[in-house]
Each structure stands twice: as C-alpha cells, then as structure tokens.
Copies of this chain bind each other. A is one copy, B any other.
Amino acid sequence: MEEKQISKAVINRLPRYYRYLGDLLEKDVVRISSKELSEKMKVTASQIRQDLNNFGGFGQQGYGYNVEYLHSEIGKILGLDKKYNVIILGAGNLGQALANYVDFERRGFFVKAIFDVNPRLVGTSIRGIEVLSTDILESYIRLHPVDIAAITVPKTKAPQLAADLVKWGINGIWNFAPTDLNLPNGVTVENVHLADSLMKLSYRLSGEETD
C-alpha cells in the first residue's frame, strides 16, 4: 500500500477500529454497515467513512464492510502483519503485567526477555520468560534482534537507561516511567503516563467537564 499523509487524529482512532472489528470477528460477524459500526463505536458514520477513505475505503455501497478484510487491512496499516521482539526493563508488577498479557502475542508482540537489577528476581521466570540481570543488557541487545523496549523502571533511572538502549541500537521505546525521555530523532517513543491519566480523571471529577 502506498504511504499517504495521514493525520495523527486518524491514527489515534485506528487501534479502536481494530479492537471493535476484532470483537466482531470473535462473534463471527461477517459484515457490518458504517451505520451499525457507528452506533457501536459512538462515532458518526461519516467520520468512519472519512477515516477509512484515508486507506482507500474498503467499503462497498449497499454491502458495508467485510469485517475480516477490514480488520486485516487496518492491522496491516498498524504494522500488525509484522512480528516484534520486545524486551521489558523492570520486572516489578507493571513489567510482570506486560509480560503476562498474552493478547500482545496474538498481535505479533513477543516478549523475549525481562531485565531487572534486583538479584532476587534474576533467574526467576514469568510465563516462561526468564528475568535476566541488567548487567548483561548491552550484550543481549547486541546479540539479539530487539524492536521494542518497554521501560517500567523508576523515573530517576529511566532517562539514562533509555539513552543507553538507543546507543545500543534500539529505536522503539514504550515508556511507562513518569517522565519524558528526550531521545534523538529517529527513535520512536510511545508514552503511557498513568499519573497523567489519573489527573485527567480527577480534573473531570472535581469540576465541570467542558468538552
């Protein structure tokens, strides 16, 4: 598929389409109209058509969308037709939660190793994935293909760790540390700031919601 300029807003909505279509697939739904999809997703039908037109449409007048085809096409756009080797930095609760999340694997994200500085955790395993010492992180990365590093270490450790990871050749970072990482261009960072999310919730709970 040819690359087109696609707005960030559309990209942000694609995973949600993918999730809904996946749910429909699980229920053996073969096709769906943009109207039905719109009612399910609480997005206007015209928004859906407009979003999907960015990728050449996929819909057919009078038929709607073929669920399996649309799911698979959006998956390709999201890069889910590829496989990603993932390592997790930090074997605390959050790192363990990520390692245990089997749905990731179904979508092509394979956790290959987990690293921790705590000697009591090193040598244990989570869902069959061994916890390795951070001491051998550099050599691991130099010897194994790693596409994504998930950072779940404390915020004081995260910036240096991220800089090291990039130096050793990693350019995909999934960052859970509550700090922004300033990394070179070309490195892709996706942040999950749990505290920011909680503050948005308290904002909306404590005052008038405005939007």
Contacts and interface: CB of A to CB of B under 8 A. Distances in A.
Interface of A: 3, 5-8, 11-12, 14-16, 18-19, 23, 41-42, 77-80, 82, 84, 92-94, 96-98, 100-101, 103-104, 107-109, 147-148, 171-172, 174, 178-180, 182, 188, 190, 192-211
B210 A201 contact: no
A210 to B, nearest CB: 5
Copies in the complex: 2
Contact of A200 (B6, B15, B147, B210): B15
Given A199-B107, A204-B190, A205-B84, A8 B211 contact: yes
A198 to B, nearest CB: 6
A169 B186 CA distance: 48
A174 B199 CA distance: 11
A19 B103 contact: no
